[in-house]
Amino acid sequence: MFTRQFICAFALALAASTALRGAEADPHAAAAMTILRAHCFSCHNAEKKRGQLDLTSREAAIKGGENGPALKPGKASDSPLVKLLAPGADPHMPPKKQLPDKLIATLRGWVDAGAPWDAGVLKLLTRETKADELKALPASYTPVLAVALAPDGKRLASARGNQLLIHPLTATNSLPATTLAGARDAIQSIAWSADGRWLAAGEFRRVLLYDAKTLQPFGTLDKPLTGRATAIAFTPDGNTLAVADSPGGAPGLVHLWKMGDEKPFASWVAHNDSILDLKVSANGKLLATGSADKLARVWNLATQKEVAKLEGHTSYVQAVAFGKDDAELATGGADKEIKIWDIANQEKKSAFQNRSAAVTSLHWTPGGTNLLTVAEDGTASTITDIKRHNGEQSSAPGTERKLSSIGDVLYAVTATSDAKTVFAGCHDGSVYVWAAGKAAAKLEAK
């Protein structure tokens, strides 16, 4: 299982490698290159050799630094490159954070397989890839990274690889989906406008716009996007679209577009790393962002000024959701925690800790009655009756009802306003539905 940030970076590397080099890239090597570049190269490169160690080539990693070889191909248990990633390792790498278990397992498997190096993937990850160089993703890459329910509740949009699917929702959920073409890269974000006019989908350096009624292409938003449109959201009046622009390994930006304009009317650096989620409050006054820099922030949409900086997660903040009266914000992280914040006081009011896996997505129903959550281990839950705590939390933070587990990564969640029907996007390419307490069923894709 992997964090959404890793999946997206890996998809870009694998798809670009396939498109530009004309052959299927080794997914194991591509995954390892993506992890090394994201977490190791900033301190261990030819110019900045911390500990006299350069990890940017296989030869340099095998040669090692002042403490000897870092990489021993075929022997992960003897390779400091892997050993120092474990919790409690001394010294510990990376110094200020703990990599998720699944990323460590990926590197361990790669080293045991002989540490095959893919310099081509590294080159693609570091060069400025042009949008028109990207072609179709590998056929095997079909995770559903985003789902969004239309305002009238009659259709669900899902992103399956680079396909945008529109599912008609009926009593039996048996009708096949309509596929909208146009995306070249993995679609990572979807949004319907509340007025029923627009449907938007975010991919690499582009947001695709469709007429929500006819599903016909309307146009694209591209400049000045420099990275992946990892999250998008309309204001309640449907006149403004907020876009999270996340170049890999660089600060994450937010752009605000007036619908009908070619360029954003406002742009700013919101985080020091990729933005993994973004939501607009129900009253249209606030914007919340969650980032790989472990922070959640709340912004005044009219002035683009920071309203709150929420610190407390120890890993990526992968999900944000506004609660009752837009006074509270829920955040979910790769640290396996959900936190509830008082926005005005910038204080944590409650927390759901010791969860089974990293939290990948949150959805709070109108009025703040039900908080839906999904995780990397395939679990989905509905949380109600959230209790607010002053000081140290000693009692249960709320009532949690677990839905049937899928057993594969769930990336995205949404629900009807009464939370009686829940939809989640899965790594296996399916959209799962929980209705009226029943076991999960799949929406038909074709």
Q: What is the pLDDT of residues 301-346, one digit of tens each?
A: 999 999 999 999 999 999 999 998 899 999 999 999 999 999 999 9
Provide the pLDDT for residue 380. Answer: 94
Provide the pLDDT for residue 440. Answer: 85
Provide the pLDDT for residue 130. Answer: 53
End-to-end CA distance of the chain: 26
**In angstroms, what CA-CA distances link 113 with 18, 28, 29, 70, 311?**
22, 9, 10, 16, 39
Beta-bridged to residue 338, according to DSSP, are 332, 352
Provide the pLDDT for residue 374. Answer: 96
User: What stretches in the chain show pLDDT beneath 50?
Assistant: 1, 15-24, 127-129
Torsion sign (Cα): 217, 222, 228, 233: negative
**What is this structure's pTM?**
0.75
Nearby residues of 142 by Cβ (< 8 Å), 6 or more positions away: 160, 161, 428, 429
Structure tokens at 368: 């703040």
CA 157/CA 355 separation, integer angstroms:
29
Structure tokens at 125: 């990850």
Provide the pLDDT for residue 431. Answer: 95
Delineate the domains of the chain, giving CATH numbers in brackets.
4-133 (no CATH), 144-442 (2.130.10.10)
Provide the pLDDT for residue 1. Answer: 44
Asked if 321 and 279 count as a contact pair (C-beta separation under 8 A), the reply is yes
Nearest to 382 by CA among 358, 395, 366, 398: 398
CA 412/CA 288 separation, integer angstroms:
17
Provide the pLDDT for residue 22. Answer: 41
Provide the pLDDT for residue 4. Answer: 55
Structure tokens at 327: 């006074």
Provide the pLDDT for residue 128. Answer: 47
Provide the pLDDT for residue 177. Answer: 86
